[in-house]
Each structure stands twice: as structure tokens, then as C-alpha cells.
Structure 1
Amino acid sequence: MVRNRLLMSRLSALVCALLVALTTTLLPLPATAASGAAPITKPPMGWNSWNGFAGAIDATVIKQQTDALVSSGMKDAGYEYVLIDEGWWKGARDSSGAIAPDSAQWPGGMQAIVDYIHGKGLKAGIYTDAGRNGCGYYYPTGHPAYPGTGSEGHYDQDFLQFSRWGFDYVKVDWCGGSAEGLNARDSYTAISDSIARATAQTGRTMVFSVCEWGGQQPWNWAPGIANLWRTSGDIIYWGERPSMSRVLTNFDSAQHASAQSPGHHNDPDMLVAGLTGFSDAQNRTHLSLWAIAGAPLLAGNKLTEMTATTRAALTNREMIAVDQDALGRQGIKVAEDVPGLQVYSKVLSGTGRRAVVLLNRNASAADITVRWSNVGLTGSAAVRDVWTASDLGNFATSYTARVPAGEAVLLTVTGTDGQPTGGQVVGTQSGRCVEVPDGAVNGTQAQLWDCNGQSRQSWTYTTTKQLTVNGKCLDANNRGTTNGTQVVVWDCNGQTNQQWNVNSNGSITGVQSNLCLDANGRATANGTKLVLWACNGQTNQQWTLRS
């Protein structure tokens, strides 16, 4: 929904004093329940009404877009959800507190539109807010500011109603929650419990989409209660033209690989592909990024007005296969040799298979190289361009493509999985080994010590470019990228500050920082701490992995 941050901050200050406790419903439901997340295994695919129509929706609009989802071939390509977003009701409740939709806009009520969607072989989704009022109250778009459009105080009642109507998916926004200063984890956990109680009564599971915008770090708690969680603000505000800058911002904000698994997904927001102002090349770049991230593919364009090239991009089966891969992993950045020229890799199901995105964030075309060592492959590998559907050949150690400014190339690469290597990491200058003390906790800094064969000096270099010891990963502290950043151990989380390139010149460089592993101050004594420093070729930055 459209959210002006300055206005929201002022509203929050005014409304926080009005915070009320969540009330309980009188419905006879169980006191406890399991997580409300539906048992899905892949990121949802479908269409959402907001980007194309904002709050100006009714049964006619939804039926037309449902029909187009089928006739365009999108349903056959895997798009299965029709999501009815903000604006579907005016905040009216009957004497029992139940939602009473406008019968003029929704003839036969909401169950009738669900039946229509189901009749096309598709699934239906609905929208509400965690607070007392939905986003349309604070930012009326396409309708007046109706109060009471949130579910707070009616969680059990509303989610049971959604389930009885037959909805398969529910998106819960945060405008009311934000304005009231609610605790997101508590509120969404209560909602997840309500969904689970509704499922226990009706037998219908619902995909649960947390739309909290990332302010309270949902990737740390939402995987246990929901199927997907927004990691940033809206990708487009109503009335704006889409921008690649916003696409990149949302993509970057969704980089939480350790939170993602089959059926649980970081959500950088719905797609802007096909909206006015986005070129065909930008559509493909946008879809490449969402696919490598394993993000939900929720189209937001007007399907009845879609061009042939937009339809071809949205229904590209190879792109969709990358996004929907059964492993459910999020692709991560594995190289950035030049600032702004980035390589992302996603491990795919099967043997020796990777998806790779070469992303050029800069203002001029450039060559970008993916090295097989960066993506955990060894020997030669076959490369295929997803968007041109062409096999590019076999390449011995790497592949280089010319990437236009602001665009991306999406590849699939098939080779041989590299084997993890293990042993000691020995400093060339000092002759001493890299170690962490026994019993090291998160944040313990790595140091040099006489080589002694102990487990605290036994490192494994994984195919995903991590250096691990005693179950923890070598880590650039606080994701630092400046000279002097401490090199510590931390729980492995898949982020790029825990990825390292072991280079042929003897240096070890951080994937995120491009800085070298360095014995601080060129010291050689036991206890010398390790830091990151600009690469300079000196022997205190030279290392040997010795089995």
C-alpha cells in the first residue's frame, strides 16, 4: 500500500498513545494451535490486484483478471493465486462483528468470487491488516478512508471467516500495526495461531503472507509462523512509475539466505514487470533477480492489457524453474570484482547445477565473469542463457558475458560439484596457523598460533565458499567492509560476509568486501589478530591451505 514515511512517523507519534490490548473472540475455538503456515514447498506464484488497480476493485475487475490469467497461459506456466488486495471492503461489520462486504461490489458476497476463481482451477487470496485499520484508512487510494478495515480485535473471527469463504491465501499488512506501535512478532504470531485454529475447524489451509515491511526483522522470526514475509517497503507507490532503483533496493533488502527454506520465503514485494515505464529488458532483469532469490512471483500488471513480450517474460519456463527449484534456496552474491559488477549464484536441485545472475549496476556496459570456483564447481561446465534459450557451450574455468548498463544476464550452469577441502590455514610470513580458541562464541576474533593439529585450527573450505571451524563460519564482523574490520567466527548464515575467495596468488579475499585476510600490523607472534585490509601483496596477506 502507499506509505509516505514522514506521514507515517507523525501518525505513529499521535496514535501510539491509543494502543489497546488485543481482545479475544467469543468464538468457541481451541486455546492453542500450531503454526498457521500452509504446507507449501515453493514460493507462491500468482497475480495481485494492488499495482494495477490500487483500491478500485470489485468482482468485475477480479473476474476479468482471473480470466486473463488463464487465457494468457500464465496459469499453465504455474501462476495459481488470484490475490484480492486492499480496497475490497469498507470496514463495515454486522451486529455480531463479522465482516459485511458491499453486495453491490461483490454480488453474492466474497464466497461467490472465491467460487469463480476456484472454478477456473485457481486459488484465491484476501487482504487484511494486523491493526484496527488497514492501509486504505491511512492512505485512501481509489476509495474514501474507511475506518475499521483491520482485523485487530477480530483475529479468530476474521480468519475463520476467510477460511469459511474458501480463501487459500491471506496477506496481512502493517499500516494499523505500525500506527499503533504494535510488536510485530507478537501480533503476527497471534494471527498465525488464529489461522491454525481456523484450519482446525474448516480443514482449509491458508498461505500466510506477513507484510510488515522489514522494520522489525521478520526474517528472524517469521519462518516459524508464516510462508513468506516482506523484507522492505513497497516496490512502487501508487501513481509512481516503476524504477530499477527501487527494484534493486527491494532485492538487496531481501538478502537473508539463512531464513529461506522450502515453503518459507523472503518477499521483496510483488512484481512490477509489465507496468507502464518499464522496458522489456528491465522486465527480464527484474524477473532474473526474483528468480535467483527464489522470491514469490506475484504479477501486478493489468493482465488484460499485457503485451506479448511481457507475457513471454512472465511465462518463461526456464526462469520459472530457477525460481521454483525444489531445494528452495536463495541465491547469494559470490563475486564483485569491480564495484557494481556482481555475480549471484543459486544452488539448484540435481548434481552440479547452478543458476547464475550477472548484474551490472553501473552506468555503462561491462564484461562480467563468473568463475566456477566461485559457484562451487570444478572442471569445465556447460552454460545456457535462460532468456535466449540458447546453449552457449562448455567453458574450462569461467564464463564472461557483456552486460548492458543496469541489466542482468540469467544463466544456468551445469558441471561437477567441487569437494570441500580441509586442513590448516598457514600464514606465509609468520608460519603460524589461523585458529580460534576452544569454546569460541559468536564474535571471537581469529588469531595466529603455533600449528598444533588441534580442531580449533582445522578449517573446511566449503563448495559455497565458507571457511568453517568447529561448526562456525569465518565472518567479517558486522558485515564490515573497511580496513581493520575484525575477522571473527559466527554462526553460519549464508551471507556474503561469510564467503571467501581462496585465490591462486595466495590471498584470501572476502566476497562482500573484496578486502584481504591480513595478520594485523604485520605481526607474527602468537595471538596476532586477523583483520580485513586492502590487498597489497605483502606476505602477511599470503596464506596456504595445508591438508
Structure 2
Amino acid sequence: MNWRRAGRLAAAVVIAAGIVSSPGAAAAASNNVVTKPPMGWASWNTFAAKINYSVIKGQVDALVSAGLKDAGYQYVNIDEGWWQGTRDASGAITVDAADWPGGMAAIADYIHGKGLKAGIYTDAGRDGCGYYYPTGRPAAPGSGSEGHYDQDFLQFSRWGFDFVKVDWCGGNAEGLNPQSTYQAISDSVARASAQTGRPMILSICSWGNGSPWNWAPGMSTMWRTSQDIIYYGESASMDRVLTNFDSAQHPAAQSAGHYNDPDMLIVGMPSFTAAQNRTHMGLWAISGAPLLAGNNLATMSAETRAILSNREVIAIDQDSLGRQGTKVTEDATGLQVYSKTLSGTGKRAVLLLNRTTAAANITARFGSLGLTGSVAVRDPWTATDRGTFTTGYTASVPAKSAVLVTVSGTEGPRTAPIVGKQSGRCLDINNFSRANGTQAQLWDCNSQGNQAWAYTSGKQLMVYGDKCLDANNQGTVNGTAAVIWDCNGQANQQWNVNSNGTITGVQSGLCLDAYGAATANGTKIVLWACGAGDNQRWTLT
């Protein structure tokens, strides 16, 4: 959560499904296997800090009666506002009995009694978000867990909570180091789980501070990659949805059990249309992100309920491979195609995203998805088949909207990045250009389609499924530009991938070379006489 703006407190905790744990093992929290992105509901978006037993009970009952439990929503997340920072003489957390009759164990028991799981919330610092940004309750000094990590996480586990989300308001104000702080928290959560025998999954909420995608997968189930998707008192915004979606694009960090978290869903919040709700849900599904509803479940419309509970869209999000969808093409600025590999041969989820202010046709070319032959296309929102196509699928996409489909075909040549040994950067086509003659370059590896190369049986290095790496104008001299061109089978588009790491042109005999032995983003790729330099050594998996 980021409180530089009118502050909404961090999304409360969610509970992980499919936990596998050895009760007595003092393993790291990340060793508790969560097989799918958590799905559930969190209290903040609708109720802010104004929560109590009755509010949570009402939402639990509505989640079940609306059919969301049957659709896979398991987690009831109690967000900020449950605690005002009070402790007893021994340092144990105390709560207002008028708000929480029977204490926090009672509400956890009620949640469990409905066949759901319970989550709770705290802060990494001494004072939590409820101190720095009180919203609906007085400022709450001492509402963080710093100095009480072992005591608090053990108490949460003994109360019956299955998951804890730890916010960053205090950590940020105190200038704590995100990585080392959350490592200490992760270790403490593991100790609590080992002592009680109840696995308790950690969700990191540093708002992307410290680049958690680089280290959080080793210590948590999910990690926030961004600031808040909505701030208290604001209306829902598609621009904010897209910003948070973009911030979560770290596919190398994500795998089954470990997820980039772009924040809670705002599906069904006031001012969002059905089309916006579907676009938002589709973006999270293609990402394999946690699905944590934040609307008022007791008053939501039948339309919102249908969007949140769509089984085929949920199945995309919950696919067992745990992959994050990545951008594979952008033929024109703002007209993007994302592809997510699904379990099963030749299966993909595809999202056509129009970021512009006017409706436009967007085409998903099957070659760029790694598919060949006839491909069947299905609309998961309407559960209808769109037909079978051979080269690609085109849809008209309204402004600031997305079309989500699933496709099934035959697997084509496998794609992989080509990584320079000297630079550590990837062979890249700038800005997803498809223009013949665009010169290849080095760029930071990002798993996107303009860095996904297939080495075919015809010795072609193919990108986008139909463009080949080409020695420009059939050049055979030092400095010849390595460009992309329509694949044509000619010798200047054929390459030998050699055991010593070089890639040589069949026609020229020259090596693929990072010009001038440079390693910076944007370094141009040329052909040059083969030598011993690492700027001519590449890894193609």
C-alpha cells in the first residue's frame, strides 16, 4: 500500500488453497506449497477501517449464498481497522470486545465453520497504516508488529488464521530494508507454523519497494508489485487498473505457488461498468494473479456476481501451470496481444488489449502464440465457440477494453530467449516492430514476444511466428546488420547454432555479434568475423 495519497489501508490477508506442510517442520514459509493463486474477499475497498464481527459475518454469509464459495473463492480477509494497537502487560494483542465478541478466534471460527479460510493483517513497522492514515477510526499508535514478530504471528496462528498479510506503512516511515525485514517476518511465520502445526502463508505488501519480485518468491506466496489500485474515497479507474497490471509484469518470478500481486479486484465497485469489470477480470486472469474481490458481496448485482463467478475465466487464472501471461505482439501503439500458456498441449489464453481511445481491430497471429495448423477459438465469457481459424484471430476491441479468448491448436516450434554471454541481455526487436529491415538489438530480458525466438528445422531464427532473423541485403561482410524480414527460406536467413556458443550465418560464415563488444540496452546486432570474444557467444535454450 502507498499512503502518499488519501490513504486506504492495505488489503487484508488472504488464505492459500492447497497447502502442503509438515506440521513439525521448521521450514521457511515459502516451503508451504500453494498450488493456485489465492481467491477470496478483502474488507478494505468497501468498508475501510469500519469493520467488526457483524460486518465480516455478513460478508461471509453473502460469499456463500452468492455462490462464490462454489466458484472457488475461499478466503475472507480482515483488513486494517480490526486492531487499535493495544496490548496487555505481556505484550499480547488485545481487541475491543464490543467489536469482536469472543475475540479474533471467534470470527476465525465462524469463517472456518462456513468451509472457508481466515486471514489477518498487520504491519512490518512499529506503527501501522492505521496510525499514519486513520480512516474511519482514531489514529492507532503501536498497530504494527515490529518488536513482536514471533509473539504476534504465533498469536495469529493460535487464533486460527491461515494467512497473514504484512503491510509497509511503518516499515516505509522508518526506512527499513524491505528484503531483510520481510525475511525476518518470513522466518517468524515459519516458526509459528511449526509450533502450532497450522500452516500460515505470508503475503508481502511492500508496494513494489525493493523490487520484491527478485527475492519474495523465496519467502512468500504473493507479493505486491505496485501502489494501491484504489485509494479511500476515490472512484474506480481503468487507468489505475492498467498501471497496476503493468507493474506486475515479472513473469520470471512467477510459478505455481508464487504470484505477482497487482492488488485487489475492484470488480463491482461503484462507477465501473460491466465492460470495465470484464476487462479488469480478464487482465488479472491472464496474469494468473490472486483474485481478491473488494466489493460489497451482500448488495452486488446479478451481473457482478456472474462476472466474478465465471468458471471459464476463473479456470484461466487458476491454471495449474501457474504461468503469467506475457505480451507477444503490439502491431500498433496501444494495441497489444498477451498470451498465457495453459496446461495441456497447444492451449493458450489470449487477451487482446486496446489501450487507445478509439475502437480498433486487434489480431492474434497463431505463430506468435507458438501454434500451427487449425486453431479453435472460444469465448469464455459467453461459453461459446467462435470457430476454427488457420492464421490468426481478429476481434474489434472497444477503447480501453479487452477481449479474452482461449485457443487450442498444434504446438509449433518452441521459443526461447537468446542471451548474450558478455551482456546478459537478450536479442530483442525494438518496440515490437514488425517492419522488414528492423535491426536486432540487445535489451534487458523480459520474457516478452519480441525476445521469443524459435530455431526451426530449416535453421531459421524466427520471432512472432513469421519473421526471420536476416543478414540484411544478403550481406557477407563485417558490419552487415542482423535484421528481421518476412521468412523466405533463403540462405541469408539460415543460421548454425554451434556448440561453442556462436551463431553463424549459413551464407556468410560470419558470427552474430554485439557491435563493438558493447553491452548496453540498444546495442545493435551485426555480423562479424568469428573470434574469441564473448560478445559473439549466445545461449539459446
Structure 2 length-normalised TM: 0.80
What is the distance in 2 between the residues matched to 1:130 and 1:543? 58
Matched residue type, 1:544: Q
Do the aligned residues in 1 keep the contact of 2:355 with 2:399 (CA within 8 Å)? yes
Equivalent residue for 1:499? 452
Q: How many Å separate the matches in 1 of 2:136 and 2:147?
A: 26
CA distance change for structure 1 residues 215 and 543 in 2, over 3 Å: closer, same or farther?
farther
Which amino acid is the alignment partner of residue 525 of structure 1?
Answer: V
Deviates more, 1:413-422 or 1:178-187: 413-422
Distance 1:132 1:524, change over 3 A: farther
Task: Report the secondary structure of 2:298's partner residue.
Answer: helix
Q: How far is 1:516 from its partner?
A: 9.9
* 3-state SS, counterpart of residue 213 of structure 1: coil
**Higher mean C-alpha deviation, range 253-262 or range 37-46:** 37-46
1:406-425 equivalences under 5 Å are 406-420=400-414
Partner of 1:242 in structure 2?
Answer: 236
Q: 2:150 aligns with which of 133, 156, 159?
A: 156
SS of structure 1 residue aligned to 2:493: strand
| Structure 2 contact 166–204 (Cα < 8 Å) conserved | yes
Q: 1:525 aligns with which of 477, 488, 503?
A: 477
| Residue type of the alignment partner of 2:451 | Q
Please tell me whether the aligned partners of residues 414 and 454 of structure 2 are also in contact (alpha carbons under 8 angstroms): no
CA gap of 1:190–1:157, structure 2 versus 1, over 3 A, is same
AA aligned opposite 2:222: L
Is 1:441 paired with 2:395?
A: no
Q: 1:353 to 1:32 in 2, by over 3 A?
A: closer
Report the Cα offset of residue 144 of structure 1: 1.1
8 Å CA contact 1:475, 1:489 repeated in 2? yes
Aligned to 1:69: 63
C-alpha distance in 1 between matches for 2:132 and 2:169:
7
CA contact (8 A) 1:37 1:227 kept: no
Give the Cα separation in 1 of the matches to 2:5 and 2:127.
17
Deviations 1:193-218 (A, max 9, x none): 00100011001111211011112100
Residue correspondence of structure 1 range 147-296 to structure 2 within 5 A: 147-296=141-290
Output the CA distance in 2 between the equivalents of 1:3 and 1:479. 35
With over 3 angstroms needed to count, the CA separation of the structure-2 counterparts of 1:421 and 1:339, relative to structure 1, is closer
Matched, 1:3 2:3: yes
Counterpart for residue 487 of structure 1:
441
* Aligned residue number for residue 52 of structure 2: 58
CA-CA distance at 1:531 after TM superposition? 7.4
Aligned-partner SS, 1:305: coil
Does the 8 A contact of 2:351 with 2:403 survive in 1? Answer: yes
Cα deviation for residue 59 of structure 1 reads 0.5
1:544 corresponds in structure 2 to 493
Q: Is the 8 Å Cα contact of residues 37 and 206 (structure 1) preserved in structure 2?
A: no
**1:510–1:516 contact (8 Å) kept in structure 2:** yes
Correspondences of 1:10-29 after superposition (within 5 Å): none
Deviation of 1:544 after TM superposition, in Å, equals 1.1
Residue matched to 1:310: 304
Q: How many Å separate the matches in 2 of 1:301 and 1:114? A: 21
Structure 1 residues 169 and 480, CA gap change in structure 2 (3 angstroms): farther
Equivalent position of 1:122 in the other structure? 116
SS of corresponding position for 2:242: helix
Among 89, 93, 102, which residue is 2:87 paired with? 93
Pair 1:45 & 2:39 matched: yes
Equivalent in the alignment of 1:113: 107
The answer to whether the 8 A contact 2:368-2:449 is kept is: no
1:369 equivalent to 2:322? Answer no
Task: Provide the C-alpha distance between the structure 1 equivalents of 2:75 and 2:25, rounded to a whole number of angstroms.
Answer: 31
TM-score normalized with structure 1 length: 0.79
Distance 1:97 1:519, change over 3 A: farther
What is the distance in 1 between the residues matched to 2:343 and 2:453?
Answer: 23
- Given that 1:384 and 1:390 are in contact with CA atoms closer than 8 Å, whether structure 2 keeps it comes out as yes
Q: How far did residue 441 of structure 1 move?
A: 3.1
1:176-233: per-residue Cα shift (whole Å, max 9, x none)? 1111111100010111100100011001111211011112100000000000000000
Instruction: Find the aligned partners of 1:499 and 1:312 in 2 and give their Cα distance.
Output: 36
Q: Deviations over 1:66-105 (max 9, x none)?
A: 0000000000000000000111100001111111111111
- Of residues 374, 387, 400, the one that matches 2:381 is 387
1:487 Cα deviation from its structure 2 partner: 2.2
Query: Which whole-Å deviations, capped at 9, do the CAs of 1:401-427 have from their partners, x for residues lacking one?
Result: 1111111111010111113389xxxxx
Which of 32-41 and 150-159 deviates more? 32-41
2-structure distance, mates of 1:416, 1:522: 33
Equivalent in 121, 124, 132 of residue 126 of structure 2:
132
Opposite residue 190 of structure 1, the aligned amino acid is A
1:344 partner SS: strand
| Whole-angstrom CA distance in 2 between matches of 1:203 and 1:141 | 35
Distance 1:70-1:153 versus aligned 2 partners, 3 A rule: same
Name the CA shift for 1:477/1:31 in 2 (closer, same or farther; >3 Å). Answer: farther
Structure-2 separation of matches of 1:123 and 1:6: 30
Q: Distance in 1 between matches of 2:6 and 2:398?
A: 36
Residues 401-480 of structure 1 mapped to structure 2, 5 A cutoff? 401-420=395-414, 440-443=421-424, 473-475=426-428
Q: For residue 452 of structure 2, what is the amino acid of its counterpart?
A: Q
Whole-angstrom CA distance in 2 between matches of 1:479 and 1:130: 40
Note closer, same or farther for the CA distance 1:109–1:413 as it changes in structure 2 (3 Å cut): same
Distance 1:210 1:478 in 2: 32
Unaligned runs of 5+ residues in structure 1 are 9-29, 423-434, 445-472
> C-alpha separation between the residues in 2 aligned to 1:128 and 1:350?
40
Q: 1:500 Cα deviation (Å)?
A: 5.4
Query: Which secondary structure state, in structure 2, belongs to the residue aligned with residue 288 of structure 1?
Result: helix
Q: Give 2:221's aligned amino acid.
A: N
Q: Residues 183 and 496 of structure 1: is their aligned pair in 2 closer, same or farther, counting only changes over 3 Å?
A: farther
